[in-house]
Structure formats: C-alpha cells, structure tokens
Amino acid sequence: MAPAADRKGYWGPTTSTLDWCEENYAVTWYIAEFWNTVSNLIMIIPPIFGAIQSIRDGLEKRYIASYLALTVVGMGSWCFHMTLKYEMQLLDELPMIYSCCIFVYCMFECFKAKNSVNYHLLFTLILFSLIVTTVYLKVKEPVFHQVMYGVLVFTLVVRSIYIVTWVYPWLRGLGYTSLGIFLLGFLFWNIDNIFCESLSLYTRTLYLRYRPKVKFLFGIWPVILFEPLRKH
C-alpha cells in the first residue's frame, strides 16, 4: 500500500488494483513512481542487446523471443509504475505470464534437436495463458495473477535445478547463485510490501536528521529522492 502522502500528478487518479510503497509523484509531476519506473531500464535495454546477439549467433527463434518478451515486460512495468493506470497494469502483469510461458518452453526444449517444435507443450502453454488472461480480466484479483505467476516460476526453478544437478553439473554454481539472487529479490519485495509504513517513516526520520550531511556527501540525488517528503 502506498504512503498516505501521495500527490496528484499528470496521469490523474490511480485506477490500478495495486499501488506500491513508493510515494506517488514525489520526484516529478509526470511519473507516479519515479524509482520503480526508471529501474525497469535494466529489463528493457540489456534484453534488446541479447536479442540482437542471439540473431547474430544464429540461435533459435525461441531464445530471441525470450529476450524480446523480457523487454516487453520491462516496458509494460515502466508504463504501469509511471501512470498507475489499470490498463498499464495489465500491460505489465499479463506479459509476465506470457514471457514465463516462453521461458518454460525454452527450458523443456533445451535438449531437443535444433529448430524442432514441441506442439503439445506449445498448445498447453498457450491454453494456460488464455485461461489466466480470461480469468484475470474477469476477477481483477492481483493474488490470482501472483499465484499463476508463482506456478510458472516454480516450474522454471524445478526444471533449472534438474538441469544443473543432473545434466550440466558444471553450471551448478551459476544456477544456485541465480536462484539465490532471485529469492533475495523476492524477500526484499515482501519486506517492502509488509513493512511499507514503518520503512517510509524511518526513511523520512533518518533523512531529516542527517539531511545536511547527506547533501554534502552525496550531492543532489538524495535531495531529489527525499526532499519532497519534508512537507509531510
């Protein structure tokens, strides 16, 4: 839940079913959640280069699709956090389901002959995506989306553990490091959701107490991030 000090901004009232902990329009009138928005660049720019490199290396289309799907998720998330509109929320959340389905397909087809197509798995994943989309548009319940997304992620994790344990054991370190980073991000995400009000109050108090020193040591960026909070 977003803090009570949220302001009005360029995109008008929030219509999304979710509003995150970052205060709305605290940095600029044109972006609802500034830091949640710009942080999506990591999901937009690198995957584009990955897709380009995949084309140059002659990799199969499913790998190119994976990179492009991740880019679409990043762009949708950018639009969602920038506007906090329900339509943009769908542009973020539904591609999360679709991209994970692409990842699942890649993970289960990574040992097959090049350029082969598993039509049974493809049909199953497309059907799953259609069902999730239809139900989610009907019920508009974020928990449903999170559970369906969790099912796909769990499938990816189990398949990845199998691959790095039994098929490519020399990738075990990379695989478990990636899993650890993912779980750490999931932990921080939950901490941010559960302790939003406490963290926001603590951050304001800490900043106001050490404001002169912070501004002297780190320049303008802490001021851009926290200065709007002084009025609240």
- Which range has the top average pLDDT, 4-8, 94-98, 219-223, 224-228? 94-98
CA–CA separation, 161 vs 5, rounded Å? 44
Residue owning tokens 């090049």: 114
Residue 23 has what pLDDT?
A: 86
Residue 56 has what pLDDT?
A: 96
In 57-98, where do the E strands start and end?
none
pLDDT in tens, 45-84: 999 999 999 999 998 899 999 999 999 999 999 999 999 9
Q: Which long-range contacts (CB under 8 A, 24 or more apart) does 28-33 make?
A: 30/82, 31/81, 31/82, 32/81, 32/82, 32/83, 32/84, 33/81, 33/82, 33/84
R_g (Cα) of the chain, nearest Å = 21
Q: Which neighbouring-strand residues pair with 28?
A: 31
CA–CA separation, 138 vs 124, rounded Å? 21
Mean pLDDT of the residues in the chain: 87
Angle of helix 142-162 versus helix 119-139 axis, rounded to 10:
160
